[in-house]
Amino acid sequence: MERYRIRRLRAALLALTAAGGLLLTGCSAGDGSNSSNSGGYQADDGSNGKGFPAPGYNNSSGGGTGEQKGTDSDSGDSDSREFAPAPDYLSTFALDVDTASYGYARRTLAEGRLPDPSTVRPEEFVNSFRQDYDRPDGNGFTVTVDGARTDREDWSLVRVGLATRPAEDSGERPPAALTFVIDISGSMGEPGRLDLAKDSLGVMTNRLRDDDSVAIVTFSDEAETVLPMTRLDGNRDEIHDAVDSLEPTDSTNLGAGMETGYETAEEGLREGATNRVVLVSDALANTGDTDADTILERIASERREHGITLFGVGVGSDYGDALMERLADKGDGHTVYVSDEDDARKVFCDDLPRNIDLTARDAKAQIAFDQATVSDFRLIGYDNRQVADEDFRDDRVDGGEIGPGHTVTALYAVRTRPGTSGHLATASVRWLDPKTRAPHEESGRLETGSLHDSLGDASPRFQVTATAAYFADALRDGGGDERWSSLPGAPSLRELGEIAEGLAKETEDGAVRQLAEAIGRADRMTD
């Protein structure tokens, strides 16, 4: 089965490779300039190592990119897959800052396996990387809309970027009431699971403020409150003892763990504090209530009644990705995946304490494309976060909860009508103030004249965004699902790996270096 999937992925990539190369050049730390490459990387595709292939580069792999059927496509290939549905010119979705899909894909590739295409969510690949957006002074968002033409005729990539204010020093945020729901089932005994969680929780306990509170719930075949909600001040030794006592035991009764966890959070609810449940699990429910909808409804009711949000931390080589994602979405939270000590320390000791506060509740985005200039478009990812267009301003409809220091990026493939110019799209974001629940909106516009002539003319971070999206799109395409069609101008994995290597050297960004390594592993598996 694995060999079959690899052959399918390789065949699909070869078929999707554009005859002309892409036009991205090298990137720097995100200052928006097209800086020259100082890393000495030299490509053999005419790009000078600055990113995607230069104009006129002949891709020896051949092939073309599938487009929408039934439109004025320049491709006569009747077998090409649908690229975009007939547009209604509005695209609406709930914001999401999950990154677990990318983290899990990296772990899977490092173990010598291609990730299951169903676990690959492109928006989580894109949102795993630093962006170059301006940030607001207070709560809410800035809106950045930019784009660049690809070498595929009339097709462009359009990036909608939303950014919250920078994270404050820990002393300036509201206090936190964190209920840790920790999986201690037998599978958590595998190295890189419970041991990582215990080590990181111990360090995090030392970094939280005295006025923060922590509770600990464990679950295996049953759930138990190991530590009720406890202030850090004067009780750190007690919390450390509770963390140190955690040992793996039996089965995974995730339903019981979530129920007890939310009961404990509710009992320890603190007014004026950020109340959050932090689930640490491989999400492989096999005992008790394993029905996702029942578990999800409990989370939804607690969110509505008490404003308790959920933060999911996934671990383990075998990981219930779909269930964890659904839990976080229903619990107005987000998910990450940790595979090693560095990941765990960053999540528990840096990100969680710094981003405990919320800057926006029920945040939704709506992009209105101008039908005078746009013929087709497709949102890349966010498949499970779609919202009805008419519900954009219905504040009863659930959106996403976003904290300080976050960026949210949505990438669109957009086909412009030949010979047209003018307004292309307006992107709007709507959110509720986390304290007053008052609604707010912010918008940004993009004109066709503002599209960069090539991807290489776009900002450096745009290039990283495109690379991550192309990678996710290639991995998803291995599933053969026609809903997951390729981005315009998609390079092969081999070429994409070379591009990422150049970007990593140019940016000196460790996260981009990891991306290049992951692409290289995927490419070697398809040979």
Q: Are 458 and 32 in contact (CB under 8 A)?
A: no
By the 10 Å C-beta count (0-12 exposed, 13-18 middle, 19+ buried), 130 is classed as middle
| Chain Cα centroid distance, residue 388 | 21
What's the pLDDT score for residue 298?
A: 72
**Residue 17 above 50 pLDDT?**
no
Hey, is 40 helix, strand or coil? coil
Mapping DSSP onto H, E and C, the string for 319-382 reads CCHHHHHHHHHHCCCEEEECCCHHHHHHHHHHHHHHCCCCCEEEEEEEEEECCCCEEEEEECCC
**Residue 27 above 70 pLDDT?**
no
| Percent over 90 (pLDDT), the chain | 54
Q: Which two tokens stand for residue 35?
A: 């800086």
Mean pLDDT, all residues of the chain: 81
What's the pLDDT score for residue 472?
A: 96
What's the pLDDT score for residue 299?
A: 75
| Chain Cα centroid distance, residue 78 | 34
- Strand pairing report for 274-281 and 309-314: parallel
Q: Rounded CA gap, 425 and 89, in Å? A: 9
| Chain Cα centroid distance, residue 207 | 26
Q: What is the pTM of this model?
A: 0.79
**Residue 492 above 80 pLDDT?**
yes
- Cα–Cα separations (whole angstroms), residue 140 to 135, 143, 403, 405, 433: 9, 10, 9, 11, 8
Going by pLDDT thresholds of 50, 70 and 90, the confidence category of residue 52 is low
Query: How many degrees, rounded to 5, is the angle at CA 39 between CA 37 and CA 41?
Result: 80
Work out the end-to-end distance of the chain between its first and last CA atoms, rounded to an integer number of angstroms. Answer: 16
- Beta bridge partners, 377, equal 414
Q: What is the pLDDT of residues 228-274, one digit of tens each?
A: 999 999 999 999 999 999 999 878 888 899 999 999 999 999 988 88
Q: Domains in the chain, ordered, with CATH? A: 87-167+362-526 (no CATH), 176-355 (3.40.50.410)
Q: Are 9 and 22 in contact (CB under 8 A)?
A: no
DSSP 8-state symbol, 313: E
Range 292-315 burial, b when 16+ CB lie within 10 A, else e = beebbebbeebbeeebbbbbbbbb
| Chain Cα centroid distance, residue 183 | 24
Closest CA to 143 of 450, 441, 515: 441
